[in-house]
Amino acid sequence: MEKKKYQEIVKRHVAKENKKKNALVAFLIGGLLGAFGNLLIEFYSYVFDISSADAGIYMIITLVFMACLFTALGFFDNFVKFGRMGIIIPITGFAHSMQSATLDYKNEGLVLGFGSNMFKLAGTVILYGVTSAYFFGLIRLIITGGV
Amino acid sequence: MTFKFKNAYIENTSLIAGYYEKLSPYAKYFDKIYEKDFYFKEKSLEQAETKLLSESIDLLLKKSKKTKDEIDVIIAGDLLNQITSSSYAILNKNIPFLGVYSACATSNESIIIASAMIDTKHIGNAICSTSSHNLTSEKQFRNPIEYGGLKPKTATFTATGGASILITSKKTDIKIESGTIGKIMDLGVKDANNMGAVMAPAAADTIARHLFDLGRDINYYDLILTGDLGIFGKEILKEFIKKDYNIILDSRYDDCGAMLYNLEKQKEITAGGSGPVCAPLINYGFVYQMLKKKHFKKVLLVTTGALFSPTFLYQKNNILSIAHAISLEVVEK
């Protein structure tokens, strides 16, 4: 049988993914996480009497710490299964991807285990994040003169 | 390539299963279930898988009242790179060892080799073993364990367990009647989350060649089981084998992957089980016991394997597959 004909049979027996529901859940959970982040900013700027920009850094540290702690305790993956991309896309997902990769290799030692596998998933995000930030910065400089 | 065996018999089997398998409808046929965690008091997951295989061999020796000296060879394989779980598990057994690999079709490959060696009277007793561990497979083939990224519904779930079978030249109730060696197939599937679609052509080809070589009709068998196609792969195989080989698989056909878990209760498992130990968990347990009770008399077991490497897939190659078949028969006295 030709490969094309076989692909047609395969296509007939594929499960329908519930994309609309997944998108809605991700939107709501991601939104709630964003609102929680904003609450943290308000809280820190009020309690410590600092600017919103500084409070933003405190907020990031808090969320990253919580994501790492919950991953290490073993239940953050359940949040991911529930909240889907709403949990993965924000900074919590980035911390979680590093922490989970590290946990896999806890028996292989600090250098060959932890060190070389920590950025297994996050490495791509860092590389293309930094590269695109550089180019977008360059474009902004050319267009607006850096303002 | 099909051969008939004259004097290869099954002496006994042993099965050890893990946490997710305890809810299986066929769990009563397992000898031991580790239901607490995935480590079984070992330091790492890889060592835990080694323990599954090692314990299944010890248990088999105990159940069949054999000593290590009476076993001529162990033929084993698993999913981890360089089949290291098997090597470490058999290290202290002091029995000659042959390592084999056909991914999830490993169990039948080892049985065909052992039966052929016994049939030609080179050896008397052989143990065939295989293991897989859900988390070691996740770690090796997919995302980190704790990442918990979502998978499409067609993705199968690697079973955790160790399985061993003792094949002997001494006459018992159940005979290994014939074996068919599979060919490597490629029908252009690149989706690692739809292994059922990858492996269905291999299963179809092996079933068709088995029947052709022996001049049999599919109705000759009371039960036909494929390895780990899952609920979607099973339907693909039914349609494909009907269209391309004109073989109709009716209610006597099922798939071990689709049978292994309680899919209604275990929502995290969408398409069914997979892994080298998936088929043996059904074949060495349920099927073996049913043959012993003469509930079935002639059974065709087709294990299916996706010969999958992430590296080759990322280099834009298709995923290859293979299927090996054996037929078991009740010995009429």
Model confidence over B89-107: pLDDT tens digits? Answer: 999 999 999 999 999 999 9
Q: For chain A, positions 34-53, list CB contacts with chain B under 8 A.
A: none
Instruction: Please answer yes or no on whether A14 and B244 come within 8 Å at the CB atom.
Output: no
- Contacts of residue A6 in chain B, CB cutoff 8 Å? 187-188, 201, 240
Structural domain range at position B183: 176-330
- Check if B317 contacts A (Cβ < 8 Å): no
Is there a single domain that holds both residue B38 and residue B134?
A: yes
Tell me A108's DSSP state.
S
Shared domain check, B216 and B316? yes
Q: What is the average pLDDT across B228-252? A: 94
Sign of CA dihedral B69, B71, B72, B78: negative
* Domain match, B76 and B194 both: no
The model's pTM is: 0.93
Reduced to 3 states (helix: H, G, I; strand: E, B; else coil), residue A40 is: helix
Which residue among B43, B235, B236 places its CB closest to the CB of A107?
A: B43
pLDDT digits (tens, 9 = 90+) for A71-108: 999 888 888 888 888 888 888 888 999 999 998 898 89
Q: What is the pLDDT of residue B150?
A: 80
Residue ending a domain, choose from B133, B168, B203: B168
CATH for B238: 3.40.47.40
Q: Name the average pLDDT for chain B.
A: 94
Same-domain pairing of B112 and B226: no
Residues B37 and B153 in one domain: yes
- B143 and B14 assigned to the same domain: yes
- Based on the domain organization, do B311 and B189 belong to the same domain? yes
Alpha-carbon gap: A15 to the closest alpha carbon of chain B (Å): 6
Last residue within a domain, chosen from B144, B168, B192: B168
A15 and B154 within 8 Å at the Cβ level: the answer is yes
Q: What is the pLDDT of residues B150-194, one digit of tens each?
A: 889 999 999 999 999 999 999 999 999 999 999 999 999 999 999
The verdict on B207 and B306 lying in the same domain is yes
Tell me which of B168, B197, B220 is where a domain ends. B168
ipTM above 0.85, yes or no: yes
CB contact under 8 A, B148 and A81: yes
Indicate the number of domains in chain B: 2
Co-location of B19 and B164 in the same domain: yes
B184 and B78, same structural domain?
no
Residue B141 and residue B58 share a domain: yes
